[in-house]
Structure 1
């Protein structure tokens, strides 16, 4: 359930760039006009990748074999060269687990509670072992589960949760703030609000289990998304320690189940949630015990990133990178007899956009810098393909100037606006602003900063290594229908297609917005590839120091 990037128009396109040297703003290059973006490529590649033949493109399945072969073939036909030392592929070692949980039993209250898998809770484990058990583990409510010393906030202060089960709220304490001021950036989610962080911190604190309370607004998706994403095959990076440093059990509780659990302890979930928003909140032992077991089917197998490159003419050792994830959920919960999560918008469209951009750049010929096209695996499992590339870069981060990541294209029509996610983070916004002005587009702040989209797609894997990332997408102001129609389209996608079998190719899609956006991404990438600039994060940004150190070592 990582990288849930589809707000706005069921579309997202991400832009990235790098660090300091002589110039941080847009270079004084000629405006790059894109060769025609191929509508036929967009339609053909999207339709193929999202067909039932590809079985939802889950990693390490026959669907992957078809997918990566298609991408490599289209890269080669576009005129790219193999991007990994003569190879189209980068192996990504994964471990696949399929967990079968027992019901979660809670004792210690007036009456024992039993929470059923999928309907009341989901449970899984990062630990790679055939079976995992949690027996009579004391339950502690730790508020938002945040330990942020630089913000003077520690929900674990004064409590020892080693071997215990922690119950955690999703998002940040100030997510309901209307503005962007607050201990955790107000309405804009920080990484502390992400479910991935919650489990990471719980493990660091020694918790045996961690369950997150689901609530649709702060999670930004319904329980149906949790169900589809946390059942069936799950993937993680293969590791020598089998992830035994992680909590034994991780999972989610429905809001209804959470209310029952707190009531059994004589507590009120709403009251304690309100208290947890205040600085100085102290964790609350609930006087209850949790028991649950898991059996795991385990398979180790490499998945693959696909990499093509258009070598630079004069500075081939400096790189601009485009990325998109090719994977989706594979076989998922059946709806009306359909059990294939085809992932047409998410992210067959983005992969098709990657191919179309490769064709356009190759047609224009080499730029000064090299341009890399990276299709990554296992985004839906926690950004694993991009994480592996980040940890094992084919092209050094210090020499990577920037890039564009596409996690879903706009297939509902042209808009008058673009939205910037995490506005004010890097100098790349100058490139975006210039391109938007020339195309007559209104650049807006994100309407739902509380959803934390900046931390939910593959650009984040590069940002963590200091590569400045600009995340932008089509807004909601449709040329045909205005904001009301755009918002309705976004809400319809989230409710009725996102991570469901109904995310299927539709011949009636309007590709005008996708082609417009791809032309914008082409221009920004080409401007970067023809310049000698190294845009950086703004002073004080969380990733600035990492990039400064990286670039200093490259001089």
Structure 2
């Protein structure tokens, strides 16, 4: 979730901004009262941090469904507001990660030195004396001539992996993995997926703040407590036994214990032709899991089209957050997720209201609030795999993962710029509103692959992720960039992400008017925007539209 980080500014500067809600219906009449009320409700302690399958979920999905109903939408799933998403919840208690066979015994402690979980659904998991292999960035990309697993069999072994892509420190976007712009190969989800395909018994990623784009505190809060995955009849037994993260300090000690230098090997791993490096030591860890199976819910409403109701435009936002998490210094242990993503959910409802006020468009418009984004985009993934409305007939859409709640900006940022023709619609909307359209300032963070639009994009649906930028009207770029650092360090995935009545909603209203214009133009038009030529999702879309 990037938006809030880019838009936080001083509270004092945000308290007195006047919000223009006089825009005509064609521009989207966005209700500030809806934004405030829904965000405050969803992020209150009464909703317990909105973790899936908890009492907080029941309150959340019922509130969204009721707001969809009163907005004037119709239930989106054959008369129901809900789509069941079968999940399995596991809460792991790991032992220390024991390292033996090197120069001296090492024991890495849970939370302090490492975090560990498992995709496998078993009450007890044991990994004993597993050989350790450093596999660089853990990438196997034949189309790029790159294989970090070349020449080694890691079946039954523990692999140590670097986060991000090999060329994430490049100045521009040229390089074997798009330079500074992260590819999916840089995401932690991919790295665990590939480790499992290679047969690794365990996979640990080395955490570093710059390439991960968040601190160890975020890893700890996100990877401890209840974890969610799709409920699979085979209990995900094709996955590695243990997955997790090591702090950089723990990784340095691990490599030193085998007489190796992590920095030197990390530099070597950036070069094509890198070969895996075995360590002298072996790894052991045990996990005890409590397991619960229960369906969570996506919430879906629809505004049927007037002339082409079987063609669809979609808006998405995730309603979930982390629930109960590590307590802060005050003892607060509820991660309320006010900005991430109560604001986006409120924006989804406000957009529904605006489109209903404007009347039915030619095409149908879907409003989808998804579950379990924080657990790996599970709700949107389930919709992509089990669409209520055909994806081949879904024209395109917009995802919202946090709104601008600290004032207007002069600019608008495209996440993953250069991907789809929906960016042409965005350009028209931002031009109309006098906004400068910019590339994202941190492409190395890989935000295009980190929220729910990606789940539909990977099935070919052109999805836009764009938001207000960093050039704050009150304070400029300096204030916006300082706010980025402040949010990352002090609020993101922490109990301090709470609603504040002093928030300035003028930027959120403006951003939602951009989203409204794009969605309305798509819904009133006849065009079928595609991915730009050469994009990774273009061929998938072409096959989908051809009925293949």
TM superposition score category, shorter chain reference: over 0.9
**2:504 matches 1:510:** yes
Query: Structure 1's 4 and 35: CA in aligned 2 closer, same or farther, altered over 3 A?
Result: closer
Q: How does 1:288-327 map to 2 (within 5 A)?
A: 288-327=281-320
Gapped regions of structure 2 (runs ≥ 5): 10-23
SS of residue matched to 1:57: coil
**2:43 matches 1:50:** yes
* Deviation, structure 1 residue 469: 1.8
Gapped regions of structure 1 (runs ≥ 5): 12-30
SS of residue matched to 1:461: helix
Aligned to 1:91: 84
Q: How does 1:237-248 map to 2 (within 5 A)?
A: 237-248=230-241
Query: Structure 1's 4 and 392: CA in aligned 2 closer, same or farther, altered over 3 A?
Result: farther
Aligned to 2:152: 159
SS of residue matched to 1:333: coil
CA distance in 2, matches of 1:292, 1:398: 45
CA distance in 1, matches of 2:161, 2:241: 16
Mean CA deviation greater in 481-490 or 243-252 = 481-490
Equivalent position to 1:257, from 250, 259, 267: 250
Residues 37-79 of structure 1 show CA distances to partners (whole Å, capped at 9, x for unaligned) of: 1000000000000000000000000000000000000000000
Please provide the CA RMSD for this pair: 1.2
**2:456 matches 1:458:** no
Equivalent position to 2:208, from 212, 215, 235: 215
CA distance in 1, matches of 2:468, 2:125: 44
Q: How does 1:12-161 map to 2 (within 5 A)?
A: 33-161=26-154
CA distance in 2, matches of 1:463, 1:5: 20
CA distance in 1, matches of 2:87, 2:29: 38
**2:470 matches 1:472:** no
* Deviation, structure 1 residue 403: 1.4
Aligned to 1:8: 6
Residues 147-201 of structure 1 show CA distances to partners (whole Å, capped at 9, x for unaligned) of: 0000000000000000000000000000000010000000000000000000000
Aligned to 1:18: none
Aligned to 2:165: 172
CA distance in 2, matches of 1:42, 1:469: 23
CA distance in 2, matches of 1:93, 1:389: 11
Tell me the matched-pair count. 533
* Deviation, structure 1 residue 8: 2.2
CA distance in 2, matches of 1:551, 1:5: 32
Q: Do the aligned partners of 1:8 and 1:473 also contact (CA within 8 Å) in 2?
A: no
* Deviation, structure 1 residue 33: 2.3
Q: Which gives a bigger RCO, structure 1 or 2 (Cα 8 Å, sep 6+)?
A: 1
Equivalent position to 1:536, from 504, 518, 530: 530
SS of residue matched to 1:485: helix
**2:201 matches 1:203:** no
Q: Do the aligned partners of 1:32 and 1:523 also contact (CA within 8 Å) in 2?
A: no
Aligned to 1:15: none
**2:548 matches 1:550:** no
Q: Do the aligned partners of 1:10 and 1:408 also contact (CA within 8 Å) in 2?
A: no
Q: How does 1:351-430 map to 2 (within 5 A)?
A: 351-430=345-424
Aligned to 2:187: 194
Aligned to 2:492: 498
**2:266 matches 1:273:** yes
Residues 347-400 of structure 1 show CA distances to partners (whole Å, capped at 9, x for unaligned) of: 000000000001110111100000000000000000000000000000100000
CA distance in 1, matches of 2:198, 2:86: 28
* Deviation, structure 1 residue 5: 6.5
Q: Do the aligned partners of 2:110 and 2:116 also contact (CA within 8 Å) in 1?
A: yes
* Deviation, structure 1 residue 32: 7.4
CA distance in 2, matches of 1:185, 1:80: 42
* Deviation, structure 1 residue 468: 1.3
Equivalent position to 2:277, from 272, 284, 287: 284
SS of residue matched to 1:132: strand
Residues 312-371 of structure 1 show CA distances to partners (whole Å, capped at 9, x for unaligned) of: 000000000011000000000000200000000000000000000011101111000000
CA distance in 1, matches of 2:529, 2:83: 28
> So what's the TM-score if we normalise by structure 2?
0.96
* Deviation, structure 1 residue 109: 1.0
